[in-house]
Amino acid sequence: MTRIKKIGVLTSGGDAPGMNAAIRAVTRTAIYNELEVIGIRHGYKGLIEENFKQLKSHSVSDIIQRGGTILKTARCHEFKTSQGRKQAYENLKKNNIDGVVVIGGDGTFTGARIFNEEYDIPFVGVPGTIDNDIYGTDYTIGYDTALNTVAEAVDKIRDTASAHNRLFFIEVMGKESGFIALRSGIACGAEAILIPEIKNQLASLKSQLEDGFKRKKSSNIIIVAEGEEEGGAFQIADKVKKDFKDYSVRVTVLGHIQRGGSPTSFDRVSASRLGYAAVEALCDDQKSSMVGIQHDKIALVPFRKAVKLHKEISKEMLEIANILSI
Ligand code: F6P
């Protein structure tokens, strides 16, 4: 028998489409298991400030299709301090909360891991970030929606790029990783994809563009991850322009549009599975772990691994991108 009677749920870090679907799944799975559910607003900040509200089944009606997060989110510096975590613990104790589901990315899990080293209230994580850069899960909530948002935007840019015979550099999110860039680049048939994981790409990009010109290729779409080593799409464009003076170059930064919008059915279903699995894990006395999806099965991954180990970019995907862009 589980000792858990009441759980909290929060979203933290950058929001991602599908977070609401995860909140819904956590809430309803908990209620099904006769647990009380407390929504913690504004992430760890709300935990420290005791910004709590009880969630009932109807509190999460009509949210599965909505982007953003009904619980709000924040990046919280105070939770990085022992004083902040102590206050969080006292608030959880005072409200008789026996376990917490945290929905977010690596910053969220790092905080949860430290908290669980210090205090005995178990935290279980649900990976929610458009970046898909969490070790131990094939997909994070929001990634698929962001890819579709990028694809829709790039398709439109391609129309105008082609009409004007232009070279476009399109910057997508991914502060430290190229998962969005690589997959969206393949989906949009990009001529080249520049990501932080691959170094010294400028020379090969220039020679690829040169070859294209010889073949009378009139327009090009280059996808650039924001964390790319040259410093993003504008910087890359400046360096390329110098060698291609006759070519009309434009830059588009897609920005936060990638974080919003109604989640795809893939993200809604992943969020529903992961939210359900997180509550099951708490009921099974698990702690300091994230629930992930590996080969379409739910897997439990210790925070220790999820935050320390680096998720590798797929070599196969890189090769496919290269081959298909010739
Ligand atoms: O959510 C992750 C992420 O999208 C990164 O790719 C990006 O660099 C960052 O968030 C920007 O977030 P913010 O505007 O909240 O600082």
Same domain, 121 and 10: yes
State the closest ligand 1 atom to the C-alpha of 14, by its place in the atom list counted from 1.
1
The whole-number pLDDT of residue 2 equals 56
The H or E element spanning position 298 is strand 297-302
Q: Domain containing 295 — which CATH number?
A: 3.40.50.450
Protein residue closest via CA to atom 8 of ligand 1: 175
Supply the range of the domain harboring residue 92: 6-142+263-308
Instruction: Establish if 26 belongs to a structural domain.
Output: yes
List average pLDDT for each run of 10 residues in the chain, which is 326 residues long. Answer: 87 98 98 98 98 98 98 96 98 98 97 98 98 97 98 98 96 96 98 95 92 86 96 95 91 98 98 98 97 98 95 96 92
Residue 267 falls in the annotated catalytic set: no
Same domain, 167 and 201: yes
Same domain, 101 and 138: yes
Same domain, 65 and 198: no
Q: Is the CB of 174 under 6 A from ligand 1?
A: yes
What is the tally of structural domains in the chain?
A: 2
What residues contact 107, with CB distance under 8 A and at least 6 apart?
A: 12, 13, 75
pTM of the model: 0.97
Q: Is the CB of 43 under 6 A from ligand 1?
A: no
Same domain, 211 and 164: yes
Q: Domain containing 213 — which CATH number?
A: 3.40.50.460
Same domain, 156 and 72: no
Q: Which residue out of 106, 131, 133, 267 is catalytically annotated?
A: 131
Q: In what order do the strands lie in the sheet with 248-253?
A: 192-194, 220-225, 166-172, 248-253
Instruction: Establish if 321 belongs to a structural domain.
Output: no
The whole-number pLDDT of residue 246 equals 84
Same domain, 130 and 184: no
State the closest ligand 1 atom to the C-alpha of 174, by its place in the atom list counted from 1.
6
- What gap in Å lies between CA 79 and CA 239, rounded to an integer? 41
Tokens of 182: 């690589």
Same domain, 11 and 133: yes
Instruction: Establish if 317 belongs to a structural domain.
Output: no
Q: How far is the CA of 34 from the centre of ligand 1 (A)?
A: 36
Instruction: Establish if 61 belongs to a structural domain.
Output: yes
Protein residue closest via CA to atom 12 of ligand 1: 14
- What's the CA dihedral at 178, 183, 188, 194 to 10 degrees? 20
